[in-house]
Amino acid sequence: RGKRAFIAGVADDNGYGWAIAKALAAAGAEILVGTWVPALNIFETSLRRGKFDESRKLPDGSLMEIVKVYPLDAVYDSPEDVPEDVKGNKRYAGSSNWTVKEAAESVKNDFGSIDILVHSLANGPEVTKPLLETSRRGYLAAISASSYSFVSLLQHFLPIMNPGGATISLTYIASERAIPGYGGGMSSAKAALESDTRVLAFEAGRKGKIRVNTISAGPLGSRAAKAIGFIEKMIEYSYVNAPLQKELLAEEVGNTAAFLVSPLASAITGSIVYVDNGLNTMGLAV
Ligand code: NAI
């Protein structure tokens, strides 16, 4: 049987989540995605109307099939956690079972188990503010959406993951080096995500023979990155300063993710793997 993957954080065809889905589909995996509730409608409509058909093309000419799209809001673990104003919000009211616990239950009911869990989501409401000007609420929201969301996903999906399975998340160098502009506690959130990668690798390894790794990716002009505001500058900076002077393609991150969740990487867990044209190794801008 082919492997089954659940990829949380796909809402268009531009981001790393989409590229990872494609690389896994090309390798023969069955693709399920979790899409942020407020973005669900437009994503499903675009998918249905063929808007993504060009970017669904796999190397063999066939189109990636997304077997099922699950609504998801990874800042809520179970229905009791959802505040009234969100419950009543019309962007949420049309969907159901979108907390992490319910999404895992739905996948279990539909398919029984998965082999691969991908976390490709982040959100920091105050990302454009320097850390020194970030509110407690903004900082905790960044951690909740970008770091704890992974802990929660693994907590709830681990019981339905087949032994030998693997998880991947996406991180950014701002966790370990100061990157002015990546604010709002997002740098802190990525540091937490990386630390948790090591601890969860131990715990999920012992508990379920599951591997946990994270990819530290270079800059990509995704929807989320454009919201930060300086992504074009970062892409240019990378182009000028990285050992490899080429555009970083989402596909390159997708291919690394496919390797890391495959048996080819069966002894790799708890690692941060850099997919950034080598930029992280430089100590001097040139
Ligand atoms: P993206 O916009 O394609 O992906 C972010 C996704 O997170 C979106 O689909 C959004 O709907 C979803 N999301 C936000 N809040 C959510 C929530 N509460 N529940 C469920 N889904 C939620 O953008 P991108 O850049 O591909 O981001 C994917 C991952 O890659 C993120 O972790 C990001 O921090 C990371 N990354 C991105 C880099 C870049 O330059 N674009 C560089 C390094 C890491």
Is the confidence at residue 286, as pLDDT, over 90? no
- Mean pLDDT of the 165-191 span: 98
pLDDT at 229 over 90: no
The pLDDT value recorded for residue 165 is 98
If you average pLDDT over every residue of the chain, what do you get?
A: 97
CA distance 96 to 98: 6
For 204-245, the DSSP string reads: HHHHH--EEEEEEE-----HHHHHHS-HHHHHHHHHHHSSS-
Binding site membership of 187 for ligand 1 (Cβ less than 6 Å): no
3-state SS of 116-140? Answer: EEEECCCCCCCCCCCHHHCCHHHHH
For the Cβ of 137 lying below 6 angstroms from any atom of ligand 1, the answer is no
CA of 121 to the centre of ligand 1 (A): 4
Mean pLDDT of 212-236: 95
Q: Which of 77, 117, 120 to mutate to test the pocket of ligand 1 (most atoms within 8 A of CB)?
A: 120
Mean pLDDT for 4-28 is 98
pLDDT, tens only, 77-113: 999 999 999 999 999 989 999 999 999 999 999 999 9
Q: Phi and psi dihedrals of 214, rounded to 5?
A: -130, 145
Q: Is the CB of 73 under 6 A from ligand 1?
A: yes
**pTM higher than 0.90 for the full model?**
yes
pLDDT band at 285 (very low <50, low <70, confident <90, very high): confident
Query: Is residue 172 among the annotated active site residues?
Result: yes
Residue 100 confidence (pLDDT): 98
- Given a cut of 80, is residue 1 above it in pLDDT? no
Q: What is the pLDDT of residue 262?
A: 98
Of 62-66, 164-168, 223-227, 268-272, the range with the lowest mean pLDDT is 223-227
**What are the DSSP calls for 11-23, one per residue?**
SSSSSHHHHHHHH
Query: What's the pLDDT band for 114 if we cut at 50, 70, 90?
Result: very high
- From atom 34 of ligand 1, which residue's Cα is the shortest distance away? 122
Q: Which of 172, 237, 239, 274 is catalytic?
A: 172
Question: Which atom of ligand 1 approaches the CA of 190 most closely?
Answer: 34
Of residues 182, 237, 239, 274, which has the active-site annotation? 182
Q: Over pLDDT 70: what percentage of the chain?
A: 100
Q: Is 220 in the pocket of ligand 1 (CB under 6 A)?
A: yes
- Residue 276 Cβ inside 6 Å of ligand 1? The answer reads no
Report pLDDT digits (tens) over 230-282: 899 999 999 999 999 999 999 999 999 999 999 999 999 999 999 999 999 99
Instruction: Among 121, 151, 237, 252, say which to mutate for ligand 1: greatest number of ligand atoms within 8 Å of CB.
Output: 121
Residue 213: predicted pLDDT: 99
